[in-house]
Amino acid sequence: MTTHRERIQTCLQHETPDRTPIALWRHFPHEDQNPESLAKATLDFQQTYDFDIVKVTPASSFMVKDWGVQDEWQNNPEGSRTYTKHVIQTPQDWESLQALDPLTAPHLSGQLACLRSIKQKLAPETPLIQTVFNPLSQAKNLAGNHLLLEHIQKYPQAVIKGLETITKTTIKFIEAVNDIGVDGIFYAVQHAQASLLDLEEYKYICVPFDQEVLKPAEHLWCNMLHLHGKDVYFSLLRLMNFPIVNWHDRETYPSLIEAQNLIKGVVCGGIRQDTFQFGNQTEIINEAEDAIAQTEGKRFILSTGCVVPYVTSHENILAARKSVE
C-alpha cells in the first residue's frame, strides 16, 4: 500500500499518485488551551479520518500570549478565539517588545511539548506540519488589525522595530520545531490582500521578515504556504519558495487550474468552508470532484481554503474523505 508520505511525495514530484491526496484541519477551541489535550484532539481527528498530512492547529494566540495578549472562546463557528486584550497601544510599544525564548516561554514551549507528543504517537509515514503565523500576522494579534494598519501608515519604522523582535522569536521557534523532526511548517500569511495593504507596502513592511523567518525551514520537504483572505497577492510566491500553496481558491483569484499555470508547485484546496458548514454531502462531493477534474488529479491536494469550520458535521468531513477513494 502507498503510505501517506509516499502519496504526498509523488504529488510533489509532479507524478500521479494512487489517489488524490487529502488534508483537512480544524480548530479545537477548548482543547487548544492545554498542550496535552490539543495533542490528543489532533491525534483523534487523524485517527478518525486518516488524512495524508497532519497539520497541528493551535489557537493563533499561542505565538503571542507570552507577550501578554489574552483571548477567549466566543462560539465563533470557525473555531477561532477572540482577542480580549492587546498589548500594543502606542508606537513606542513596538520598540519595547522583547524577544522570547521558545524553550522557556510558557505558551511557546507548551506548543513544542504538544508537537513532541504528536510526533511520538503519530505513525511515522504520516507527514506532520506545524502552524507558524508570519511576523505581520503576529503583530496584528498584538495590536489589533485597525491599530496595526494605522501604525504602518503613520509610524512604519516603529512597526518594523517590533517586527524585528517578532522575527527573532519566530526563527528560534522554527529552529526548535526542526529539532522535533517535523516534515514542514504551515506558514500563515494574513495581510497579503489588496483590501489591507497594497503590494509594494507588503513587500516593504513584511517580505524581508518573511524571507528571514523561513530560512530555518528551507530544508523541510513539506512546507505549505497559506494565503488568507481575498484578492491575495499570488505573485509573492516568486519571493518565497513553497512546494505547497493553500488559499481560498473558490472565493478569490486564482482558481486551482489558473494557479497551476502560475506556479511549479502543488495547489491545495477545492472545497469551500461554507460548503462544509452549510452544505450537504452531495455538494461536498461535487466540489471535490470538480477540483480533481480541474487539476486532472496532478499537483493537487484536496482541502479547503482555510480551516474546516468547528461546527462542521462528521458526515460532511467523511464525505470529503471518501471522495478521493
Instruction: Answer yes or no: is pLDDT of 288 > 90.
Output: yes
Per-residue model confidence as pLDDT tens digits over 200-244: 999 999 999 999 999 999 999 999 999 999 999 999 999 999 999
Thinking of the domain 4-11+27-247, which architecture would CATH place it in? Alpha-Beta Barrel (3.20)
- Residue 167: predicted pLDDT: 98
pLDDT of the residue at 96: 98
Is residue 159 within 8 Å of residue 205, measured between CB atoms?
yes
pLDDT in tens, 115-126: 999 999 999 999
- The answer, yes or no, to whether residue 172 has pLDDT greater than 90, is yes
What is the pLDDT at residue 1? 84
Q: pLDDT (tens digit, 9 = 90+) per residue, 127-164?
A: 999 999 999 999 999 999 999 999 999 999 999 999 99
Residues 15-26 have pLDDT tens digits of 999 999 999 999
pLDDT tens, position by position, 33-81: 999 999 999 999 999 999 999 999 999 999 999 999 999 999 999 999 9
Average confidence (pLDDT) over 264-284: 98
pTM of the model: 0.98
Q: Are 277 and 295 in contact (CB under 8 A)?
A: no
Q: How far apart, in whole angstroms, are the C-alpha atoms of residue 308 and residue 320?
A: 11
Instruction: Look up residue 181 and give its DSSP letter.
Output: T
Q: Is the pLDDT of residue 283 over 90?
A: yes
* Cα–Cα separations (whole angstroms), residue 101 to 106, 172, 173, 213, 225: 9, 7, 8, 15, 25
pLDDT digits (tens, 9 = 90+) for 77-117: 999 999 999 999 999 999 999 999 999 999 999 999 999 99
Q: Report the alpha-carbon distance of residue 156 to residue 18 in Å, rounded.
A: 50
Listed by start position, the domains of the chain span 4-11+27-247
Residue 11: predicted pLDDT: 98
